[in-house]
Structure 1
């Protein structure tokens, strides 16, 4: 069974994007030109372009036609990145600045702090009763002037209340959360992460300046000190086209 015309046109344009015929930042041919070349109506071409836009390959600009998206730099994340925060550092750094390969002056951290009570899911992650007091911290991480990830993490209030860790004016803190736990006398000894993929919520897509059709990677993290869970991150949210997750196991 032959493919619909709009699918065939989308396939051809997608291949052109992949092989460099239409490099990042370039414009696709106009709707009229594509319609004439393929002997179809403008409506069919619009359907083809909509397919590519939903895949995050192109974006349509008012008065600027349809442009091939410029892919943001991809960062690699591995469990070993936390060693940057727990080991000696010649200069201020966190796992984020290490992943992004940026200096401290290129790093920006937007933050919102509030005291909350653990819901059922958070209580289960912390191994604590529901209603336990927590410090909720929402961060937006920036590198080189661009927002790169959102992180919402929680710390037990009875651990951090009244300490510099609960003071948003102390952020960004060199060494990040592991260094903060070490400052409190409870250095982390183990990190667990669960990775999922989903489509972004509207607020996430707007905050991270995401193109249409791009999913996000979400990482739920727990930091342990001995047998105690001292931090839960629910979640770290990163556009999927900006990250590669690297994991290794010693057997």
Structure 2
């Protein structure tokens, strides 16, 4: 549905923050995973990407356990039906109503069950994020693979992200591998095409 004139005026007065996603964020997150609590709690990935402060944000997280469907089970290398922890995240600017992205993350339940706090969504936002959560059960992330595609949004995505007509969504499938080459986290992220910038920095070896 087209926006009313008043909504358009409000958007002009209060432009939505853009998120700049740089793949260097992963090393930044890994470095933070071993920092003291006070450092980890000071800022998170959203603040890093938007330039906002923690007090500027409203954070939502909901966890549930599910049985792995075949596609996810195959990706994790586990039998279908294996128990997974499904985590849904929404973070928005306190002055707005649309989240920066729609995030669903999956962890193998048995890999993280040694730390009950990692299974508890009331502990969110977790200082240091997923890499620190994994570190508490002895898992070190070795590499992260990100695959991007784009398509028109579903009606639900368009409503939740408050997308202008004709705006595409960027789909990110993020897979994290540990130092033993196990898949330890799979995340599906839906990004609004009108306010997301992707930056890829590739260091090249010198001659």
TM-score tier after normalising by the smaller chain length: 0.7 to 0.9
Considering only CA atoms, is the larger Rg found in Structure 1 or Structure 2? 1
8 A Cα contact 2:73 2:79, kept in partner: yes
1:178 matched residue in structure 2: 131
Give the alignment's TM-score, normalised by structure 2: 0.83
Q: What is the DSSP-based 3-state SS (H/G/I as helix, E as strand, rest coil) of the residue aligned with 2:194?
A: helix
Cα distance in structure 2, aligned partners of 1:239 and 1:157: 30
Out of 51, 54, 62, the residue aligned to residue 112 of structure 1 is 62
Give the whole-Å Cα distance in 2 for the aligned partners of 1:107 and 1:165: 22
Candidates 117, 133, 150, aligned match of 2:83: 133
Q: Partner of 1:98 in structure 2?
A: 48
Q: Retained in 1: the 8 A contact 2:19–2:100?
A: no
Q: Is there any run of 5+ residues in structure 2 with no aligned partner, and where?
A: none
Matches within 5 A, 1:41-190: 59-61=2-4, 64=5, 70=12, 72-88=16-32, 90=39, 92-146=42-96, 147-161=99-113, 163-190=116-143
**2-structure distance, mates of 1:66, 1:85:** 36
Query: Compared with structure 1, are the counterparts of its residues 87 and 213 closer, same or farther at alpha carbon in structure 2 (3 Å cutoff)?
Result: same
Q: Is the 8 A contact 2:112 2:134 kept in 1?
A: no
Post-superposition offset of 1:188: 1.2
The CA deviation string for residues 38-75 of structure 1, in whole angstroms up to 9 with x for no partner, is xxxxxxxxxxxxxxx9xxxxx442xx499586463322
Cα distance in 2, alignment partners of residues 133 and 122 from structure 1: 11
- CA drift at 1:249: 2.0
Q: 1:129 to 1:92 in 2, by over 3 A?
A: same
Query: Is 1:213 matched up with 2:157?
Result: no
How far 1:79 moved relative to its partner? 0.9
